[in-house]
Structure 1
Amino acid sequence: MIPSDLQARGYSPGLTNPDLAPTTPAQRTWGAFSIFNVWTSDVHSLWGYYLAASLFLLCGSFLNFILAIGIGSLAIYVLMTMVGLAGVRTGVPFPVLARASFGVWGANFPALVRAIVACFWYGAQTAAASGAIVALLTRSPDLLAFHKNVHLLGHSALEVICYVVVWALQLLIIQRGMETVRRFQDWAGPGVWLAMLVLAIGLVVKAGSFSFDSRIPTDVLLEKTKDAGVPGTPGSFGSLAAVAAVWITYFAALYLNFCDFTRYAKDEAAVKKGNLWGLPVNLLLFSLVAGVTTLAAFKVYGEVLIHPDQISAKFDSWVLAAIAALTFAIATLGINVVANFVSPAFDISNVFPKHISFKQGGYIAALIALVLYPFAPWEGSAASFVGAIGSTMGPLFGVIMVDYYLIARGRIDVDALYRENGRYRFQGGWNVKALVAAGIGIVFSTLLPNFTDLLPTWWGLYGWFFGVAIGGACYWGLRMLPEVDPELTRQA
């Protein structure tokens, strides 16, 4: 049963539950600092560091790195603000906002696509966090022997145990709902900043000196980046363009569901201010520290180490190694809860609102991530994984943003989003035009570049962008076509 106040507003039980309902003034407690910490939680993780360090290798120099990451970060800020404002203005989560574009039932398509992507990322981030713990534990000779000699599900038994423990710990965080998520991220994100700085400063001191003009030898960079799938040599225009593109694509999932968080914001100013400090400013500083750490580690150890746990494993001090491993693991739990639990929790709940709550939807997503672990689809090149998994969501973002800003002009009938027979019913609850446009975009962003040889090899790196452009343009064109059925015209 839905609450009586929602029933009085004509909300349909098949589209509503308390978690999906619009936020009330009492729930809008997130200020700029909380929005800022959405980004510290999202970026300050083992995967975020791994990606930044990997992209640093493709740039060849610090100046190139800052230019490519800076341009990408400004684009991310603009895109996140666009979708964030939609969330604070309507107070609804992503799958409900998508009803305005795809129809009250058709919105389940983008919601489930986003949920599936979140399950992949949930597994990838959990594996990264557990990997940090494994790196710490294998400092013990006995555990190292256990790690090498005992295997289960295609992994070492120690890796499996750590994965399951970390996986279970994340479920405890969300027991009390979104307010607990906010409190957790408010200290987890800044915590890893401290660990990152300690790691960078410690390595610079150990190296004896540091200069931004220092470089890793070209032959080493070529060897380390040969399987990245990026055209050109490190530092070339093609590589720099690919770095900016991959950095933007890394956030593809949150472009869709950032409104899951901004619906709790106090006002638009909080979203804009939090995004400003959390995206271009924070992203640049985090990437700079990742670059400094990578370069200093090469100078100290003579190796290219792009995983923080690889660096912490080399520390002489058990205490320092433990602090580094645990801090990065906790930070990675932060991003998993923020980016990869909240979204599928809302998305899966949206499919069966009467039977699945926010928490139950999240549990289902976590279970899928557990099942994926033996297959580990996230292992391999960071750039390739980010591009392949992010490209699928480009067309969905293109359709929703074109619909919200160009067709609806930012005006959404929030109550109609919860009514089966309201203005967003379209064709029996499905907006066929949106589905066709998204389908065409997915063909060119995901299917053709990843499963055929019909397109150039570099196309996949920019798959998300092609998806946004093609999906959005097709939707605009289809909506501009004259309607044949006057009843459909009235509903649309």
Structure 2
Amino acid sequence: MGSSWPEIKHKLQCPVDEDAHYENTTWCNRDLIPIPPDRRTYGIWSYFGYWTVSGSCISAWSTGSTLLAFGLGPQQAIGVVVVGGILAGLLAVACGWMGENHHIGFTVSSRFSWGMRGSYFPVILRSFVSCMWFGMQAFWGGQATRVMIGSIIPGFAHMPNYFAASSHLQTKDFIGLLIWMCAFIPGLLIRPEKLQIPFLICFTFFCGSCFGLLIWGVSQAHGPGSMFHEPSSTPNVGWSFMFGITAILGSWGSGTLGQSDWTRYANRKFAPTLSQLIASPLTIAVTATIGIIVTSTSRDIMGGEIEWNPIYLLANIQEFYHSSPRVRAAVFFASIGMVFSQFSISVVLNSVSCGMDLAGLWPRYINIRRGGYIMACIGIATQPWQLLATADKFLSVLSGFGVFMAPATGIMLADYHLVRRYKLKVGDLYTGDSSSIYWFSNGVNWRAFVAFFAGMWPLLPGLAGTVNSYSGGSWTGWVRLYNLTFLIGLAISFLIFWILNFFFPPIALGQEGPFIGEEVMYGIAKTSGENDTGSRDEERKVPVASVV
């Protein structure tokens, strides 16, 4: 006899740990609760591993193209990367503090700033950006896979295209994407607290690719290349330097906003801090510097146009040397590093954070793993090859989402560090009614929305001017302001939110409380006193507590 609908619904719910002290509700599941001690598996070196894949990636390699576009010279660009990396590390420390203290991620943290219902706004916003970025990261991962296959089978690199020209997709790229996705999807089965070894493997391969290309470029060009010594082309180095810094912050802004998604796995306080302050600027700066030098040397060696994307550079190298066996072997091992890099960055900045955001929208039926699958489907359904090929403005618009991420970051920092001063009533973050101190007015904190739009609107004219290539006249000031997006948006929203809370303080500031009672979390409670022989009284189990 077939199962009834209530039974089917129950089977579709997210798994619950054995002897769990929570239930799947509108606000809670296994991936949204404060991480219990047995799942806090990240120490100092684990966070170094996290930042090696977050800071050493293709995006960091290509950062030089953005900085040189601002008119900076290569050596000035390196200085910008160092300063920007340090600031990104400091921002990561500030954004990740609630994860270290309360072991909650961005999805749940949004509730004390925006309200229980209002938190859906930043969560949906970040989910949308993550899905779009994943689509492009997956496409680049597929192209790295295509280059790797082409190094084994040279004819594959020149494979005839069987797709219509209007699809803007090559058959070889499609095959590479399918293979990359087949490798990525099983990776979603790995729980976030178990990713340390995969991080190490990915970093090792990508590091080998970077230094292999660096050795090739410097040895063949007998130095860093002519472009490396070119002077600055901007009359205003100060503005360009500031533009470069905010570009670095914008590139890693979404990652720093969600730092608590990862710091909540810390096995002790301050475990992430050292890596955030050292590994963050070090990995970003070294990778970007290598990218600048290799790009400079490759132009001198092979001529032609500058190629900032290392994936396409590897394909060009194989063509330049006529697919000789030695070069094909080198390209094969280097492209493996690119494949692994795309895998790791998609996990770090996309699947885990997006999966938890989607879990926050429907906790009964979506957890991080299922959210990752949904993200993968949406990301590929956007047909990133179409977007990259036919929409010249698309990347500018997507990059412009820093206009929204910066104010959200400012609100979170002001609320946690200044308004609430690190004090949270954690249990109320999982209570969806007026008994929660984070219910505000019908589940929405109006202060957050006012601060958000106050920090966003001054940047919109500059975004429109940049996307539509407006320049000169009245647009110059707006575009310059937009180029400082992350600094300006964060500062305005931070200040406005703090002022609003000063004059209109929310209820119950300063109250603290755990997710559940400590005696319940650890499953035992002791009766008072000892027996006549001095032995401890019998420990008894405490009934499971659920958060409704």
Question: How far apart are the structure 2 equivalents of 1:237 and 1:387?
Answer: 23
SS in 2 for 1:15: coil
Give yes or no for contact 1:426–1:491 (8 Å, CA) kept in 2: no
CA-CA distance at 1:198 after TM superposition: 1.0
Alpha-carbon separation, structure 1, partners of 2:249 and 2:259: 15
Change in 2 beyond 3 A, CA 1:135/1:270: same
Long gaps (5+) in structure 1 = 223-231
Percent of aligned pairs sharing the same letter: 20
Q: Could you tell me whether the CA contact under 8 Å between 1:192 and 1:331 is conserved in 2?
A: yes
Please report how far the alpha carbon of residue 110 of structure 1 lies from its aligned counterpart in structure 2 after TM superposition: 0.9
Aligned partners of 2:145 and 2:179 also within 8 Å: no
Task: Tell me how far apart the structure 1 counterparts of residues 129 and 218 of structure 2 sit (CA, whole Å).
Answer: 37
**Alignment deviations for residues 88-133 of structure 1 (CA, whole Å, 9 cap, x no partner):** 1110111101111111221111111111111122122112222223
How high is the TM-score relative to the length of structure 2? 0.79
Q: Of the candidates 208, 215, 227, which is equivalent to residue 228 of structure 2?
A: 215
CA RMSD of aligned residues (A): 2.8
Structure 1 residues 373-412: aligned runs within 5 Å: 373-374=383-384, 376-377=386-387, 384=396, 387-412=399-424
State whether residues 62 and 288 of structure 2, in contact with CA within 8 Å, keep that contact through their aligned partners in structure 1.
no
Structure 1 stretches (4+) deviating beyond 6 angstroms?
1-4
SS in 2 for 1:393: helix
Alignment of 1:21-420 (within 5 A): 21-56=33-68, 58=70, 60-137=72-149, 140-141=154-155, 143-147=157-161, 151=165, 153-207=167-221, 209-211=222-224, 215=228, 232=234, 236-303=237-304, 304-313=306-315, 314-315=317-318, 316=321, 317-374=327-384, 376-377=386-387, 384=396, 387-420=399-432
SS in 2 for 1:268: coil
Q: Please give the residue correspondences for 1:433-472 in structure 2 after superposition, counting only pairs within 5 Å.
A: 433-445=447-459, 447-451=460-464, 456-472=478-494
Paired amino acid for 2:228: R
Task: State how far apart, in whole Å, the 2-side matches of 1:378 and 1:391 are.
Answer: 21
- Aligned counterpart, 1:226: none
Aligned mates of 1:267, 1:55 — CA distance in 2: 37
SS in 2 for 1:360: helix
Q: CA deviation at 1:336?
A: 0.4
3-state SS in 2 of match to 1:176: coil
Say whether the 8 Å CA contact 1:132–1:325 is kept in structure 2. yes
Q: What SS does the corresponding residue of 2:291 show, helix, strand or coil?
A: helix
Greater displacement, 303-312 / 383-392: 383-392
Distance 1:198 1:53 in 2: 21
- Residue identity in the other structure for 2:343: L
Deviations 1:337-370 (A, max 9, x none): 1111001100010011112122111111111111
Aligned-partner Cα distance in 1 for 2:78–2:206: 21
Q: Distance in 1 between matches of 2:480 and 2:228?
A: 26
Separation in structure 2 between the aligned mates of residue 274 and residue 489 of structure 1, nearest angstrom: 36
The CA deviation at 1:256 is 1.5
Shift of 1:397: 0.5
Distance in structure 1 (CA, Å) of the matches to 2:387 and 2:457: 21
Amino acid at match of 1:372: T
Letter in 2 for 1:215: F
Secondary structure in 1 aligned to 2:188? Answer: helix
Q: Residues 491 and 201 from structure 1, CA distance in 2 versus in 1: closer, same or farther, beyond 3 angstroms?
A: closer
The 8 Å contact of residues 108 and 351 in structure 1, kept in 2 or not, is answered as yes
Residue 412 of structure 1, CA deviation = 1.7
Deviations 1:369-399 (A, max 9, x none): 1111256545659994674132220111011
Following the alignment from structure 2 to structure 1, what is the Cα–Cα distance between the partners of residues 509 and 277?
38
Specify every segment of 5 or more residues in structure 2 that has no aligned partner in the other structure, as ranges: 1-12, 322-326, 511-548
Q: For residue 285 of structure 2, what is the amino acid of its counterpart? A: L
What is the SS of the residue equivalent to 1:21? coil
SS in 2 for 1:394: helix
**Cα 1:345–1:265, aligned 2, differ >3 Å: closer, same or farther?**
same
TM-score of the two chains, using structure 1 as the length reference = 0.87
CA 1:431 to 1:185, structure 2 compared with 1: closer, same or farther past 3 Å? same
Matches of 2:205 and 2:489, distance apart in 1: 36
Instruction: Return the offset for 1:149.
Output: 7.1
Contact 1:137 1:144 in 2 (8 A): no
